[in-house]
Copies of this chain bind each other. A is one copy, B any other.
Amino acid sequence: MGADDKETRKTRVTPLRVPLVADGGYSPSLVSEPGRVLAADRWLARKFLAALGNPRLAIVFWSGEEVRTCADRPVARAVVRDRGALYRMLTNPVLHFGDLYSVKRIDIEGDLVQFLEATYRGFDNPGHLKLIKKLQDKVLNRPRANTLTDSRANIQHHYDLGNEFYELWLDTEAMQYTCAYFPNPSMTIEQAQVAKLDHVCRKLQLKPGDRVVEAGCGWGGLARHMARHYGVMVRAFNISHQQILYARAKAKAQGLADRVEYVEDDYRNISGEYDAFVSIGMLEHVGPSHYRALADVIQRALTPTGRGLIHTIGRNRPARMNAWIEKRIFPGGHPPTLGEMMPIFETHNFSVLDVENLRLHYAKTLEHWLARFDRNVGKIEEMYDHYFVRAWRLYLAGSIAAFNVGSLQLFQVVFARGTDNNLPWSREHLYK
């Protein structure tokens, strides 16, 4: 592969890479002179650990000196390379830690996931870090808007990184970049993603000939699975150009082009009438201020006996997205609570039939992804660079931690019109 190709690929990731160096002073070249460790440095580090609830963590200064507030052996150590990094991390840990870790001004000795779980548990405890959290939520980190134009930019930021990149660590079966379903936790990621697709199709009670619309279809794996195994016709919407090209090519190669149509457009522009509405992993990108618009889309699109399913990352309590992930990885994202989601259904008399929480399934999915990512780290570093690899490892490990400690949830919500009485008498059919 020539240098030009490589250059092209590299330009796609600039939103992630350039700000790390140019914006906010995270560049490794900006490392402050370490100097000797001051009493103030130690005092701040202790305060920080205490605010996190004295977890089994240690902070190691540039001199090698270690501070900890828990008597038990640490599960991990944060090694801070210079005083600037220390102060940044303490003033806004969620946002700055990510960037400082990415450029290696902070490093983690020990298990990254366990380090993040311990800190997230601290953040989740309402007694801890009140002032810092308040500042973060209210002032420092406002999520980006999701107008039609911004949505496109926000989605391209993430999903147009390049299909080759995602192929290196997602499942090879259906290219699912959403939570898999592990009814048996020893399944492979391929088996669990197919199990997820079937779980969704069963919940939608698809029958041959049904017309299905999908809002936010990723690389199109669900649409192809539904068409092939359930005999339905699918129109699948997505605003990521890279994903649409990939999805169309796959459908053509699999002889499904006459049954699956991939539309490069926003969910708000969905037209037509359908027997099923499905959206897997899009709601996180929609933002609560647009839920009413989504409700109107579903109201227009679904037949009187149509079924709907929304699969989304969510929360137990309303909160902003992790600031660093919002800034570097997923601009415009907001994982809603069920309470925040309900206007989608309650506006137009839709009846919620079934909600399932698959939180630990997402932690397991991410563990598979991270293991595969790690096996391909050399290739990925060659495609992008070292900072990119560290940022993405942190994002995957941080997501595992967030699902494991319960900062994030995964909801599947099944719904139908309130006037539809053609309902199954139990959910047993999902488990046959």
Q: Which of B345, B425, B430 contacts A183 (CB 8 A)?
A: B425
Q: Which of B316, B409, B431 contacts A431 (CB 8 A)?
A: B431
Q: How far is the CA of A99 from the CA of B356 in the complex (A)?
A: 42
* A254 interface residue (CB < 8 Å to B): no
Q: Which of B360, B405, B418 contacts A316 (CB 8 A)?
A: B418
Chain B residue numbers with a CB within 8 Å of A411 are 352
From 305 to 356 in chain A, residues with beta carbon under 8 angstroms from any chain B beta carbon are 316-318, 337-339, 342-343, 345-347, 349-356
Q: How far is the CA of A423 from the CA of B182 in the complex (A)?
A: 12
Measured CB to CB, the closest approach of chain B to A356, in angstroms, equals 6
- Whether B425 and A184, one on each chain, are in contact in the complex, defined by CB atoms closer than 8 angstroms, is yes
Q: How far is the CA of A430 from the CA of B353 in the complex (A)?
A: 17
Chain B residue numbers with a CB within 8 Å of A431 are 426-428, 431
Chain B residue numbers with a CB within 8 Å of A352 are 316, 338, 355, 357, 411
Closest to A341 in B: B339
From 57 to 72 in chain A, residues with beta carbon under 8 angstroms from any chain B beta carbon are none
Interface string of A357-388 (1 = CB under 8 A from B): 10111000000000000000000000000000
* A404 interface residue (CB < 8 Å to B): yes
- Whether B346 and A317, one on each chain, are in contact in the complex, defined by CB atoms closer than 8 angstroms, is yes
From 397 to 432 in chain A, residues with beta carbon under 8 angstroms from any chain B beta carbon are 404-406, 409, 411, 418-421, 423, 425-428, 430-431
Q: Which of B182, B346, B419 contacts A406 (CB 8 A)?
A: B419
> Which of A318, A351, A353 lies at the interface centre, i.e. has the most chain B CB atoms within 10 A of its CB?
A351
Closest to A314 in B: B352
* Given A419-B405, A426-B183, A342 and B338 contact (CB-CB distance below 8 Å): yes
* A28 interface residue (CB < 8 Å to B): no
Chain B residue numbers with a CB within 8 Å of A349 are 124, 316-317, 406
Q: Which of B124, B425, B428 contacts A185 (CB 8 A)?
A: B425
Q: Which of B351, B356, B406 contacts A357 (CB 8 A)?
A: B351
> Which of A338, A356, A361 lies at the interface centre, i.e. has the most chain B CB atoms within 10 A of its CB?
A338
Closest to A404 in B: B421
- Whether B404 and A316, one on each chain, are in contact in the complex, defined by CB atoms closer than 8 angstroms, is no
Q: How far is the CA of A253 from the CA of B118 in the complex (A)?
A: 52
- Whether A342 and B339, one on each chain, are in contact in the complex, defined by CB atoms closer than 8 angstroms, is yes
Chain B residue numbers with a CB within 8 Å of A347 are 317
Q: How far is the CA of A84 from the CA of B353 in the complex (A)?
A: 43
> Which of A185, A316, A352, A419 lies at the interface centre, i.e. has the most chain B CB atoms within 10 A of its CB?
A316
Measured CB to CB, the closest approach of chain B to A281, in angstroms, equals 19
- Whether B350 and A339, one on each chain, are in contact in the complex, defined by CB atoms closer than 8 angstroms, is no
Closest to A315 in B: B346
Interface string of A196-236 (1 = CB under 8 A from B): 00000000000000000000000000000000000000000
* Given A360-B423, A425-B185, A431-B431, A316 and B354 contact (CB-CB distance below 8 Å): no
- Whether B355 and A354, one on each chain, are in contact in the complex, defined by CB atoms closer than 8 angstroms, is yes
Measured CB to CB, the closest approach of chain B to A10, in angstroms, equals 40
- 29 contacts across the A-B interface (CB closer than 8 A): A121-B419, A124-B419, A182-B425, A183-B428, A184-B425, A316-B345, A316-B350, A317-B346, A317-B349, A337-B342, A338-B352, A339-B339, A339-B342, A349-B406, A351-B359, A351-B406, A351-B409, A352-B357, A353-B356, A354-B355, A354-B357, A359-B423, A361-B425, A406-B418, A406-B421, A427-B427, A427-B430, A427-B431, A428-B431
